[in-house]
Amino acid sequence: MKFFVDTAEIDEIRELHELGMVDGVTTNPSLIAKSGRDILEVTKEICALVDGPVSAEVVATAADAMISEGRKLAQIASNIAVKVPLTWDGLKACKVLTGEGKMVNVTLCFSANQAILAAKAGATFVSPFIGRLDDINLDGLDLIADIREIYDNYDFDTEILAASIRSANHMSDCAKIGADVATAPAKVIKAMASHVLTDKGLTAFLADAEKAGIKIL
C-alpha cells in the first residue's frame, strides 16, 4: 500500500520523505488554509520535494471552471493530480482532464455508486473518506472493502486512495482490505510505530543494560 501524507506542511512532508514514507501528498482547501500559504507557491514547493503524485484541489463548482482551474494547477509540475469533488460536474471535469493526460483524484467519495462513476469517468484515484463516515455511525472501512470488490470485479484501473484516516488502525485495516493508497496526517503515520509493549520492553532492556554496565561506544 502506498503512503500519501495528507498535509500542506513542508516540514512534516520533509521528515517523512527522508524516511522513505512518502509516496505522494494530498492537500485540500482546508489544509492549504491551515498552512497559511499561497496555494500555487506551497504546492510547487511540495511537488519539488516529492516525486509521487501531489493532489491539489480545485475550488470551482461548475465543470468548465474546474477544468480551467485544473489546467492551471497541472502547470505547477508534472506530478500534480488535480483533485475534483465527486459531483456530476466534477465527473465531467475528471473526464476532460484525464483525457488531456492529467492525473485526477476524485474526492469526497462516500458511496460505492459514486466510486463506480469515478472509475467510469477515468479517475486516476478515488478518495473515499473513512473517518467522516465513521463520524455519522456508518462504517468507512466497509466502503473501502465494497469499492475494492467492485473495482476488482471489472478490473477498473482507478486506484482506491483511502482518505479521512484518523487512526493507525485505519492504516492496517486499509492495507488488509487492499486499498492501493492511504493518505493520512503525519501524526497518524508516526503513531503506527507506537506500541505499549515496545515502550515497556525498551525500559526493561535499558534498566538491565545500566545495571550490567553495558557500554557500546
Q: How far is the CB of 57 from ligand G3P (least distance, A)?
A: 10
Closest CA to 180 of 198, 163, 197, 200: 163
Would you say 121 and 99 are in contact if contact means Cβ atoms under 8 Å apart?
A: no
Residues that bind ligand G3P (CB under 6 A): 6, 26, 28, 129, 131-132, 163-164, 166, 183
C-alpha 174 chain-centroid distance: 12
Nearer to ligand G3P, 30 or 198 (CB): 30
Would you say 160 and 147 are in contact if contact means Cβ atoms under 8 Å apart?
A: yes
55's CB contacts (< 8 A; 6+ apart) are 4, 24, 25, 26, 27, 28, 80, 81, 82, 83, 105, 107, 125
Nearer to ligand G3P, 94 or 163 (CB): 163
Q: How far is the CB of 155 from ligand G3P (least distance, A)?
A: 26
Q: How far is the CB of 107 from ligand G3P (least distance, A)?
A: 7
Nearer to ligand G3P, 94 or 162 (CB): 162
Paired strand residues for 139: none
Please tell me the chain's helix, strand, coil percentages from 3-state DSSP, rounded to the nearest 5: 55, 20, 30
H helices present in 50-167, as ranges: 63-74, 88-99, 112-120, 130-135, 140-154
Q: How far is the CB of 104 from ligand G3P (least distance, A)?
A: 15
- Residue carrying C-alpha cell 526493561: 204
Nearer to ligand G3P, 114 or 164 (CB): 164
Q: What are the catalytic residues?
A: 83
Q: How far is the CB of 6 from ligand G3P (least distance, A)?
A: 5
Nearer to ligand G3P, 28 or 114 (CB): 28
170's CB contacts (< 8 A; 6+ apart) are 130, 131, 140, 141, 162, 182, 184, 188
